Amino acid sequence: MWLALGTAFYTIGTSQLQVDMSCVQVSDQGYATVTWEPAADPNGDFEQYVLNVYEPSAGLVLETFNIPNPTDPTAPSFVNTTYNAGTTELCYFVVTEGPAGLFSQSSDTLCSIHLTADPSLTPGLVDLTFNSPNIGTNSPILGEPLDVEILDVDGTWVQINSIADNGGMMTAQYALQECESDLSFRVIEPNLESGCTHISNTAGSQLSDELDPDPPVITAVQVDYALQEAVINWQPSDADDLAGYIIYLCNGGFQMAIDTIYNPGVTWYIDLNSNVQSYIESYNVAAFDECFINGEPDPGAASPYCASSLFLNASTSLCSDEASLSWAGAYNLDSEVASYHIWVDEELPTGSGNWSGLQEIGVVDANTYSFLHQGATFGASYKYHIVAEMASGTEILSNVRDLEFSYPGAPMFTSLRRASVTDSGSVNIIVDLDPNSNDAHIYTLQRKRSNQTEFTDLETQEGVGGMTLIFSDVTAQANESSYSYRVRVENFCSDSVGMSNMAETVWLSGISDFRLLKNTLHWTPYSEFPGATAGYRIYRKFNSGNATELLTTLPNNVFTWEDNVSALLYSPGDFCYLIEATDVLPGPASGINYALSNELCLQQEPVVWIPNAIIVGGANSTFQPVVSFADFTNYRLEIHNRWGDILFSTEYFETGWDGTFKGQIVPEGTYGYSITIQDGSGRYYDRHGLVHVLNGE
């Protein structure tokens, strides 16, 4: 009877029709061609072969193929088109049968080699898995080493590995040499005894090189001294198929590709669009191999951290010869900072192009991020930069900071145009600033009275070239004395850098001569105009509000003048005077530059001529006073008898008493009069007396 022992069927007690398996070859379609050695048939008993096929995992015969034709035992082979040997390994053994089954013999077992080719978990590798042809036997029957082959582009199979037959499952790996391709693999094992070769199925698929080049190590992000642009340096990637690098600009957690370098030998890049002068710039670099995707480089991984530039800030203040330097950056490089070196280049004077050359002015340790440069030269410019010396010996340059050390200069002049007394008695001071002075300065008005020796500060204003400053001295008592003014100039370093010309106001004084009917004026000379005093103009007006009139113009060496007012008897008698000093140089817009004095008002006392008698019907028939230098607004005339009775009254200066009372001529005799008048200053005058009345009819 037949016994199933896992791998073979055999008969007991017979040795005729012995057969040995040769090889199993799998075609591209998955058909297995099974060959075996011809059965030994010394007695001519052979009738047919019976081929049995099974899966080794199940151990059960899947199907039996009777092969009666050809009956010639010298041509033993069979093509299995029923089962696909491209999806799993299939095992075969052959049973030879004699007449009526009297004699039969089972062969050894051979299995098809089933090969799988899958991308490895390790990028860039292909995992190849296959079985031994002898995997279906109970006892290890080891054959020759199995050769792993790949199909070359010219259609030939090329051996890529050789694995010893272990009788079971075996693996091999293939490192992809192609970027992306349809790769085909097979496994063969020669059977040296039969001269036949086991051939596996062809396995493969669209496989790509997913093994990225190692990220370059950035050694420096520094600033080109001349161009002031960022320069990135790195160590080259060691990938065999390295094709170039991609440069990334890092900003706010994002990395943006800014350039691609198609040269694996390049290890530096300059970003001509960088802003390393304004803030820290950060970069990253990724390498790419020859495996492009859609014609574009496929970048490998970059460093997990972006490397940054070394950024320097520098500042100074007006009037200071010190520069404050502070810096940050040089982060995420391949080496730590060992020390910082401070360098400077001096240009003296500023704008001359006369640079002294780079000089190192200080060294600080890696934990210090600031430096104070003292003793800079005013009028010079300086270029500062920092060099970080790394522990690796690499030197990293920062951006360059330019500082100019300037001391505020003095204006060429400060012109006090005039000091003029206003109607209210204050003094207005007008100051013209040097139009060519570009620096702001502090201008302080100073004053002293004519009887004082020292100036005192009054008011401070800030001004710049070309401005006109107007000061107002409201505390001046310009009716009592003259005042001298000047303006002290200070820069913003609180240093005095100039003084204006001194201006002294015109102080006008005078007296009235009641007998000679004249007013005499005296004034102090004005000084100093920007030019010189050309002369003086004398103006007069009445206190009652009449228009001002120009009386005369006098030369600059005359300081007194008399005003004869005898022709102005019927004026109120109050006369106000003003002196105007004029400059020989014109003022703005070619006008007159002038300075006014205080206003002086003088009063002539009223002059009253009163008749002592009237002749009714005669030549002097009306009693009417003659009054000069009076204001007749409040004029009043009263005539009364000896008992005090008012016989006549009027408030009109033009009306006199004709010697009547209620239309009747009064008796001859003596009568009293009372006259009230007011001068131009508002003072009242009363006149009382007697008038004699005579009857001339």
pTM of the predicted model as reported, rounded to 2 decimal places = 0.51
For the domain 508-603, what is the CATH code? 2.60.40.10
CA-wise closest residue to 212 among 242, 183, 178: 242
CB hemisphere CA count around 308 (13 angstroms): 16
pLDDT score for 10: 38
Q: What is the pLDDT of residues 513-530, one digit of tens each?
A: 888 889 999 999 999 999
CA-wise closest residue to 390 among 337, 328, 331: 337
pLDDT score for 13: 38
Task: Give the least confident one: 74-83, 270-279, 323-332, 644-653.
Answer: 74-83
Scored b (16 or more CB within 10 A) or e, 142-154 reads ebeebbbbbbeee
Q: What is the pLDDT of residues 655-669, one digit of tens each?
A: 989 889 988 889 999
Question: What architecture (CATH level 2) is domain 414-504?
Answer: Sandwich (2.60)
pLDDT score for 104: 77
Do 315 and 370 contact (CB within 8 A), yes or no?
Answer: no
pLDDT score for 550: 94
For the domain 1-206, what is the CATH code? 2.60.40.10
Task: Report the mean per-residue pLDDT for the chain.
Answer: 88
Mean pLDDT of 76-98: 89
The band of 571, judged by pLDDT with boundaries at 50, 70 and 90, is confident
The band of 70, judged by pLDDT with boundaries at 50, 70 and 90, is low
Cα 354–Cα 380–Cα 401 angle in degrees, nearest 5: 95
pLDDT score for 366: 95
For the cut 50, the answer to whether the pLDDT of residue 14 exceeds it is no
Q: Which residues contact 2 (CB under 8 A, 6 or more apart)?
A: 9, 11
CA-wise closest residue to 313 among 321, 303, 324, 305: 324
Mean pLDDT of 68-92: 81
For the domain 325-405, what is the CATH code? 2.60.40.10
Share of the chain above pLDDT 70, in %: 93
Mean pLDDT of 127-154: 86
Same fold, 325-405 and 607-695: yes
pLDDT score for 139: 58
CA-wise closest residue to 197 among 327, 73, 26, 75: 26
H-helix segments, 448-550: none
pLDDT score for 170: 94
For the cut 60, the answer to whether the pLDDT of residue 61 exceeds it is yes
Q: What is the pLDDT of residues 377-428, one digit of tens each?
A: 999 999 999 999 999 999 999 999 999 998 888 899 999 999 999 988 999 9
CATH superfamily, with its number, for domain 217-308: Immunoglobulins (2.60.40.10)
Alpha-carbon span 93 to 661, nearest angstrom: 182
Alpha-carbon span 214 to 242, nearest angstrom: 10
Question: Which has more pLDDT, 586 or 571?
Answer: 586
Q: What is the pLDDT of residues 150-195, one digit of tens each?
A: 998 888 999 999 999 998 999 999 987 666 667 899 999 998 888 8
CA-wise closest residue to 402 among 487, 277, 280, 304: 277
The band of 275, judged by pLDDT with boundaries at 50, 70 and 90, is very high
CB hemisphere CA count around 231 (13 angstroms): 16
Task: Give the least confident one: 29-43, 130-144, 352-366, 376-390.
Answer: 130-144
For the cut 90, the answer to whether the pLDDT of residue 570 exceeds it is no
Q: What is the pLDDT of residues 220-268, one digit of tens each?
A: 999 999 999 999 999 998 887 889 999 999 998 899 999 999 999 999 9
Residue 661 one-letter amino acid: F
**Which helix or strand (DSSP H or E) is residue 494 part of?**
none
pLDDT score for 74: 64
Mean pLDDT of 62-91: 81
pLDDT score for 207: 67
pLDDT score for 448: 96
Task: Give the least confident one: 124-133, 368-377, 382-391.
Answer: 124-133
For the cut 50, the answer to whether the pLDDT of residue 11 exceeds it is no
pLDDT score for 20: 86
For the domain 607-695, what is the CATH code? 2.60.40.1220
For the cut 90, the answer to whether the pLDDT of residue 25 exceeds it is yes
In DSSP notation, 165-193 reads: --SSEEEEEEE--SSEEE--EEEEEEETT
pLDDT score for 546: 67
Do 337 and 330 contact (CB within 8 A), yes or no?
Answer: yes
For the cut 90, the answer to whether the pLDDT of residue 630 exceeds it is no
For the cut 50, the answer to whether the pLDDT of residue 618 exceeds it is yes
CB atoms within 10 A of CB 423: 9
- φ/ψ (deg, to 5) at 584: -70, -25
The band of 572, judged by pLDDT with boundaries at 50, 70 and 90, is confident
pLDDT score for 9: 39
pLDDT score for 408: 82
**In the numeric block, which tokens belong to residue 437?**
């002075």
Task: Give the least confident one: 29-43, 246-260, 590-604.
Answer: 29-43
Q: Where are the domains of the chain?
A: 1-206, 217-308, 325-405, 414-504, 508-603, 607-695
- Let me know if 329 is exposed, middle or buried by CB neighbors in 10 A (0-12, 13-18, 19+): buried
Mean pLDDT of 476-492: 94
